[in-house]
């Protein structure tokens, strides 16, 4: 691991705190309070990556397969996912989101985007320019 300068360590510390606070505040902008953050995350993964087996979802969500089986069952009971036979392996199923899930995700994304856009109104043009430049870097960090 590369040794960071004191300035870089301070920036990392500031970034960590800011991301945690912002994430916590974003979670409060949910559309459906009956869905847990984990359930929303699974629906988001299905939206980004497409249909998947419960095992694939467990790996992507960093949870144990039995936990994912329970999450998928709860989402299915709420009408947000459906299970279909795997096209190649009859022992498995493929999970996909329903139109109801897509609508919840879209409304949630719109609400969170509007909330963030409102926050950025309080920034100067220079700060918004820095934010535009930082967004792809933060996206990269989120997926490393």
- N-terminal to C-terminal alpha carbon distance within the chain: 15
This prediction's pTM: 0.79
CA–CA distance, 132 with 45 (Å, rounded to integer) = 24
- Do residues 111 and 29 make contact, with C-beta atoms less than 8 angstroms apart? yes
pLDDT at 4: 83
Q: Decide if 10 is inside a domain.
A: no
Q: Give me the domain span that covers residue 127.
A: 34-142
Residue 53 lies in a domain: yes
For residue 55 the two structure tokens come to 């095992």
Residue 28 placed within a domain: no
What is the Cα–Cα distance from 42 to 47, expressed in whole angstroms? Answer: 9
Quick check: is 3 in a domain? Answer: no
Asked whether residue 13 is domain-assigned, the answer is no
Query: Which among 41, 9, 48, 29 is positioned nearest to 111, based on CA atoms?
Result: 29
- The DSSP result for 81-115, as a single string, is EEEEE-SS-TT-EEEEE-HHHHHHHHHHHHHHHHH
In a domain? residue 62:
yes
Structural domain total, the chain: 1
Helices and strands of the chain, counted as H and E runs: 6, 2
Domain contains 2: no
72 belongs to a structural domain: yes
| pLDDT per residue rounded down to tens, the chain (144 residues) | 678 898 989 999 999 999 999 999 988 887 888 898 899 999 999 999 999 999 999 999 999 999 999 999 999 999 999 999 888 888 889 999 999 999 999 999 999 999 999 999 999 999 999 999 999 999 999 878
Give the domain CATH number at 98.
Answer: 1.10.10.10
DSSP H or E stretch at residue 80 = none
User: What is residue 34's predicted lDDT score, i.e. its pLDDT?
Assistant: 86
Residue closest to 82 by CA, chosen among 103, 67, 97? 97
């Amino acid at each position: 691991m590369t040794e960071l300068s004191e300035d870089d360590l301070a920036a990392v510390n500031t970034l960590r705190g800011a991301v945690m606070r912002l994430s916590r505040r974003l979670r409060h902008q949910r559309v459906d309070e009956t869905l847990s953050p984990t359930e929303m995350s699974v629906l988001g993964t299905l939206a980004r990556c497409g249909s998947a087996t419960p095992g694939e979802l467990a790996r992507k969500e960093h949870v144990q397969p039995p936990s994912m089986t329970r999450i998928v069952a709860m989402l299915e009971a709420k009408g947000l996912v459906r299970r279909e036979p795997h096209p190649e392996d009859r022992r498995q199923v493929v999970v996909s989101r329903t139109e109801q899930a897509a609508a919840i995700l879209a409304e949630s994304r719109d609400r969170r985007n509007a909330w963030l856009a409102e926050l950025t109104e309080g920034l100067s043009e220079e700060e918004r320019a820095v934010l535009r430049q930082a967004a792809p870097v933060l996206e990269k960090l989120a997926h490393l």
